[in-house]
Amino acid sequence: MKAFARPRLVCAARYAAYAVVALFALGVAAALVLPAFLDTQRVAAELQANLSHAVQGEVAWEKLDGGQAVRAAAAVACQRARSLSASASSSVPKNTE
């Protein structure tokens, strides 16, 4: 029984390595292909409007690439979630008892 344990372990390790390489390749492919499907003009306009409103001023940039757009969209989403949670907590009636 012990003689069969080592080949099974080697086979399992090989399949795990294949899975890791496949996931890495899918991640690289998604990073290369996904920016082509994003509507960067719409995202840039929405980000500019949201950031300008958040800082109560004018925010502008010359060029916004895919990676910057994703990071900025995440930052705007976090800011929006914070403002929504703050407004929701302030609109909850306080218990005066």
Give the model confidence (pLDDT) of 24-39 as tens digits: 999 998 888 877 776 6
Q: Rounded to whole angstroms, how far apart are CA atoms 86 and 11?
A: 53
The pLDDT confidence band at residue 18, using thresholds 50, 70 and 90, is very high
Domain-by-domain residue ranges, the chain? 1-37, 39-87
Residue 59 CB partners (closer than 8 Å, separation 6+): 48, 51, 52
Tell me which residue of 44, 39, 41, 94 sits closest to 69, measured CA to CA.
44
Judge whether 46 and 16 are in contact, CB under 8 Å: no
Nearest to 65 by CA among 44, 42, 37: 44
What is the reported pTM?
0.39
pLDDT, mean over the chain: 75
